[in-house]
Amino acid sequence: MSEDVIRPESEYLRLAMAESNIIERLRELLIKLGDEVDEVYEAANDLFRNRYEALKARFEKIRRYKREFEELYRHSMFYLVRVGIGLQHRDVYARIYLGLLRFSESIETVGFRFVELAEAKASIDDDIVLGVQRFLEYVRNSLSQLET
């Protein structure tokens, strides 16, 4: 007889550990995404203060964080595919991972638009910048709550 038939709790333990690892990887993705949001917040400050060179340098950091996020996403999805056979919520985790990836791409796009505005020497109303910063603060706080 197979040991799994004799000891089904070993299968449950394996699945519980796999799900715990998936959640830990999700936390790592949220932390990396929070770093990206923080950089976009600072990029808004740079745009508001007309520090264009600092904005360009900050955009490179945003891109680096996004690349790191994508690498972590790729590893997380590979792990989910490898161990997800017996997991009840594997599709939910995959959708969460994909949603976070899309959000990361959107955050990078916001940083890129800031650079384009700076290159066009567009004047930005203070209220717009403050609204964007308040929104980014809300996003950052939400991500922090999800991390815990």
Query: Which pLDDT tens digit goes with each residue over 24-33?
Result: 999 999 999 9
Name the pLDDT band for 60 (thresholds 50, 70, 90).
Answer: very high
Query: Which pLDDT tens digit goes with each residue over 67-123?
Result: 999 999 999 999 999 988 878 888 999 999 999 999 999 999 999 999 999 999 888
pLDDT at 14 over 60: yes
Query: What is the pTM assigned to this prediction?
Result: 0.84
CA pair distance 64, 83, nearest whole angstrom: 29
The predicted pLDDT at position 1 comes to: 45
